[in-house]
Amino acid sequence: MKIKNFLFPALLVGTGLALIFQGFARTASAKPAINNVSYDAIDAYIEKQMRSLNIPGVSLAIVEGDQIVHLRGFGHTQPGGEAPKPETPFIIGSLSKSFTALAVMQLVEAGKIDLDAPVQRYLPWFRIVDPQASAQMTVRHLLNQTSGLPTSAGEIQLADFDDRPDAAERQARALVALKLTRPVGSEFEYSNANYNLLGLIIESASGESYPDYIQTHIFTPLGMSHSYTSHAIAKQNGLVVGHQYWFAHPFAVPDMPAPRGSLATGQLISSAEDMSRYMITMLNGGRYGETQILSEDGIAELHHGVAEFSQMGVSFGKYGMGWFVDESGPTRMLWHSGTTPDFGAFMTLLPEQNRGMILLYNANHHWMVPVLSDFGSGVAALLAGEQPEPIPFIGIFPWLLRGQLLIPFLQIVGVVTTLRLLRRWRLDPGRRPGGGHLWSRHILLPLIPNLLIASTLIPMLGKTRGYLMLYMPDYSWIALLCGSSAGIWMFLRTSLILRVLRRPGNVQQLVV
């Protein structure tokens, strides 16, 4: 069984997508492995992938039926720190979407939200460029990610660190200048903007702030006492230190700002133990212990795959309401990953086996999302009693990230080589090329790598620059510095070559 790789430009954001976390020990409630599930094999698999990917810390929880059967932590919560405990909180990224969807469905069952009502019923001020599309967009469209709102809109919001209480509404009102990428209701496109709007709808329909609603109606009833809607409070209670990857090496970023306006889409905080209670609720028709948090039909609605999603013509399953539904393998899976600049998560449910698994980890990078998702799917495969498929490129992937450092090195080599070549031409005119050889080998051909490097600067000039700086800091700085210098060097190099050939003189004056 395998969750196939895919890269939505923003899902990798705030989307929020990915996997693992730190050191746990089994609790007294753990049961021995049954039905060919070896927890030792799962633990060994996690430790192996952590070493391959240089992940600082991972936290694992497995549930079966209404029991937590395995809790384990790996690595450390901060540089030189201890392994995470079951109650250690992590930012869970886009796993937050399933909480937002659950809150919406609770309000549907309370008669306060109609899934097929237009968004403007609850947010009368909501507008995009197209008035007709603004009126057509419904709550269900937002939940199923079929509203037509583009991925980029959510990425922009993820990099907006406005900390005012009305940050989410201010960002939503800014969508008035937004053009949809596709007609409302036509196709799936993952966008954090959908779930940020749902957070505002929850506030409008319930009369409570989004943080208060989640705390009062989900966290507290489920006994999730180590789950938070505030980063400041979570830090006071042991929030793990996140890490950003720079060229495959994780660097601690204890003071990473949080986009308050994206709380509903990817900024909730929880622990492996608390998320175990949540998974048990999802597997048992909305019930945890004596608490019925949503009807069985409501849970089924959340888990029903509706929106077909694909990339480059390849289908990857369906999206429900805050959950991906994968029926491509022998075991049906409900899953979601979470991605922030410095944290990640991967959660899966196996309804037919009545099992669930979550991985939390304290490091991330946009380019590592597909590998980390395969990591999570490998653990899910072991939980289902299957052998995980090999993770493509896992051994060389960190080297690919490190390979970005070759770009400035090769640029320096190119400059030095060119200057030496010009010096030789000046001192020995007989070596100078002419005609087509000059243009093909010495001018046009070297333009190709410089054009490729300069093209990396293009994404950094757009509106998603802030997102790229957060989720791909190494690439972003390479693009800014090397892309800019490559663009300048293309013109300067050509000018120097033509100048040397046209005006034989003192080469030292020309190139020094």
Q: Kindly list the domain boundaries of the chain, sorted by start residue.
A: 39-95+227-255+262-387, 400-511
How far apart CA 290 and CA 447 sit, in angstroms, is 69
The pair phi, psi for residue 156, each rounded to 5°, is -60, -40
How far does the chain reach from its first CA to its final CA, in angstroms?
Answer: 61
CB contact set of 7 (below 8 Å; sequence gap of 6+): 311, 369, 370
| b/e code 148-184 from CB counts within 10 Å (16+ = b) | bbbbbbbbbbbbbeeeeeebbbebbeebeebebeeeb
Structure tokens at 172: 């939503």
* Beta-strand relationship, 324-326 and 333-339: antiparallel
Which of helix, strand or coil describes residue 109? helix
- Walk along the chain (512 residues) and give the pLDDT tens digit of each residue: 444 443 333 333 333 333 222 333 333 333 333 456 789 999 999 999 999 999 999 999 999 999 999 999 999 999 999 999 999 999 999 999 999 999 999 999 999 999 999 999 999 999 999 999 999 999 999 999 999 999 999 999 999 999 999 999 999 999 999 999 899 999 999 999 999 999 999 999 999 999 999 999 999 999 999 999 999 999 999 999 999 999 999 999 999 999 999 999 999 999 999 999 999 999 999 999 999 999 999 999 999 999 998 776 777 789 999 999 998 778 889 999 999 999 999 999 999 999 999 999 999 999 988 888 899 999 999 999 998 988 877 778 888 899 999 999 999 999 999 999 999 888 888 788 876 777 788 888 889 999 999 999 999 999 999 999 999 999 999 999 999 999 999 999 999 988 888 765 444 443 33
Structure tokens at 93: 């990224």
Helix 151-158 with 192-206: angle, nearest 10 deg: 70
Write out the DSSP string of 371-429. Answer: HHHHHHHHHHHHHTTSPPPPPTTTTTHHHHHHGGGHHHHHHHHHHHHHHHHHHHHHH-G
How far apart CA 265 and CA 220 sit, in angstroms, is 20
Q: What Å distances lie between residue 301 and 99, 194, 253, CA to CA?
A: 14, 18, 38
User: Which CATH class for the 39-95+227-255+262-387 domain?
Assistant: alpha beta
Residue that has been written with the tokens 């079951």 in this structure: 86
